[in-house]
Amino acid sequence: MAHRFGNAADNGLRQPRYPTDMTDAEWAAVRPLLPVPGWMRGRGGRPEAYCHRAVLDAIRYLVDNGIKWRAMPADFPPWDRVYAFFRRWRDHGLVKEFHDRLRRQVREKVGRDAEPTAGVIDSQSVKADAVVGADSRGFDGGKLVNGRKRHVVVDTLGLLLGVMVTAADVGDRAAARVLLEQVADAHHRLALVWADGGYTGNLIEYCFTFLAVVLAIVKRSDDMRGFVVLPKRWIVKRLFAWLMRTRRLARDYERRTTSAEAMVYWSMTLLMTRRLARSRPQQA
């Protein structure tokens, strides 16, 4: 069998040919971290029609190259089957589960604890495509962007802890209250989060009182001129740079904000699988 979760008898392994295809080293790191399908846990259903490796490669290709679903190359499984897989993993939180397992592995590989104690929060406004409805888009007057805003929390390695996509006119403090509550609930050891001056006000007291998290504001000095790298804030800026290298995230093309969040998680899985593959010992 090409994969324990797929029907390899009917659909064998495809030959890797694109830069986004997982190498054997990546697949060896990824395979044990995949969520177990419901049919293997006695919850009904049937095995996947296609090998998970082929489906994952198809989603990675779409995210990295920014193609339309219907433009999926013919050597991948049919686009509607790949989209059904993407939608199922999105709706059941499986992509986040998979992403979080990868993040824990990456942290342990570099000698860190699996769960972080500190993080950084920030937001990024991106233009929205015409398919994005008026109910989930807005105008960010500060950045002069008509679209959506990605609110993220990262650890001190720049790895994603949580993401929430909103209309671009949603304030950072309002979104941060919801996002930090989700992140603090998922990461109980989190005790310190750095932020910029846009997160001042009642949010600091709220985080300390209700979330047991210290929100430390890193401000830019009034006498600074030009570009200056600010402590800790550069970490989350680097994550935004990573995301913008995947063309599907250069602007927001998703009809649903949940799909936009899922695309961010998929983008980060590319980064982390490559890191894990580099850290695996080479076989003789």
CATH class held by domain 114-221+229-254: alpha beta
- Average pLDDT of 68-79? 94
What's the chain's average pLDDT?
Answer: 88
Residue 2 has pLDDT above 50, yes or no: no
Report the pLDDT value the prediction gives residue 221, as an integer from 0 to 100.
Answer: 60
Question: Using 50, 70 and 90 to split pLDDT, how confident is the model at 278?
Answer: confident
- pLDDT confidence tier of residue 39, bands split at 50, 70 and 90: low
The per-residue pLDDT for range 183-242, each reduced to its tens digit, is: 999 999 999 999 998 999 999 999 999 999 999 998 766 565 554 556 788 899 999 999
Residue 218 CA to residue 235 CA, distance in Å, equals 12
Q: CA-CA distance, 267 to 60, in Å (whole number)? A: 7
CA–CA separation, 177 vs 209, rounded Å?
Answer: 12
pLDDT digits (tens, 9 = 90+) for 143-161: 999 999 999 999 999 999 9
pLDDT of 51 > 70? The answer is: yes
Q: How far is CA 222 from the centre of its chain?
A: 34
User: What's the token pair of residue 15?
Assistant: 């030959």
Share of the chain above pLDDT 90, in %: 75
Is the pLDDT reported for residue 12 higher than 70? no
State the pTM of this model: 0.90
Q: What is the mean pLDDT of residues 245-269?
A: 97
Question: Could you tell me the residue ranges of all domains in the chain?
Answer: 24-92, 114-221+229-254
What is the rounded CA–CA span in Å between residue 123 and residue 153? Answer: 9
Q: Which residues pair with residue 151 across a beta bridge?
A: 123, 164
What integer is the mean pLDDT of 248-274? 96
Contact call for residues 61 and 20 (beta carbons, < 8 A)? yes
d(CA 155, CA 144): 28
pLDDT score for 3: 47
The count of other CB atoms within 10 Å of the CB of residue 107 is 19
pLDDT tens across 85-137, in order? 999 999 999 999 999 999 999 999 999 999 999 999 999 999 999 999 999 99
What was the pLDDT predicted at 14? 76
